[in-house]
Amino acid sequence: MPISPTTAKTIALAGKYAAAGISNDLLGLASFLTDAGHRVVLEHETASNLAMTTYPSMNSQQIGRLADVAIVLGGDGTMLGLARQLAPYQVPLIGINQGRLGFMTDIHMDQMFPVLTDMLAGNYQSDQRCLLEGSVVRDGIEIASGLAFNDIVVARGAGAGMVELRVTVDGHFMYNQRSDGLIISTPTGSTAYALSAGGPLLHPGLAGIVFVPIAPHALSNRPIVVPDTSLVIVEISAARDASVNFDMQSFAHLLVGDQIHIQRSRHLIHFLHPKEWNYYHTLREKMHWNEYPTLNGQLS
């Protein structure tokens, strides 16, 4: 059902509260939405950190139950945190970037009001993204778990030697690996840490899980993509100090013999984009594919 002034009655706002000028930007957006006939609420941490009391605040559970759409001002990191919290509630998300164009926050600040006016009138594209869920199992008991929108990373500790990992997919042994760690990424996360470690770019519409070794001892350990229906188990075979993190937000320290069980989450993240949004345009902007080296004003 289209989001419109008659359906999007409650709109939640969240912002990167450490960003300069964010209070004025949020208040300006809230006033714009209120004048358009919407009820505006602020995400609790945003309101608390900015000491904003003009509008009611809600935690993620309340937003999930009551909000028709959530708008995030900030960058991809801000969107990442809220998206993970709201995934179980299927609240659509709109991202407004305060700085450079983001992969997930794709509306420029200077275009915010006309673009939102168009989107809230029902002129938008919808986009669903998958998440990963992982659990740490020690001696048959789950000791930690987490959701990841970008990636789950198993890595050696600072100053420690390599970790040795045993990886199975759907019960089939895939490989042993000695490395600084292993990135297990969603297609969305393929443009994050996985990319910097030499992984492939995956279109977010693809159904896959990406494995990217971090500085592997054997050069034959290359990135690989497996179906997103897979159950992945990463076991710590040897390590002096190792950990696992979920989107760099939650951590667990690992011991030899610990297993990390990873699979696609049943939850999806729902993004709304401007009608003219195009994933390849975003790639060109972020990856600078539209720039060419020049020599004295001529193409080199």
- Write out the catalytic residue numbers: 76
Instruction: Name the residue with tokens 């164009």.
Output: 101
DSSP 65-111: HH-SEEEEEE-HHHHHHHHHHHGGGT--EEEEESSS--SS--EEGGG
Nearest residue to 177 via CA among 166, 189, 190:
166
DSSP, collapsed to helix, strand or coil, labels residue 144 as strand
Q: Which candidate, 255, 218, 221, 260, places its Cα nearest to that of 239?
A: 255
- Angle in degrees, 0-180, between the axes of helices 22-35 and 112-120, rounded to the nearest 10: 40
129 phi/psi in degrees, rounded to 5: -125, 145
> How far apart are alpha carbons 80 and 86 in whole angstroms?
10
Q: Torsions phi, psi of 117, nearest 5?
A: -55, -45
What is d(CA 53, CA 51) in angstroms, rounded to the nearest whole number?
Answer: 6
Q: What is the CA radius of gyration of the chain?
A: 21
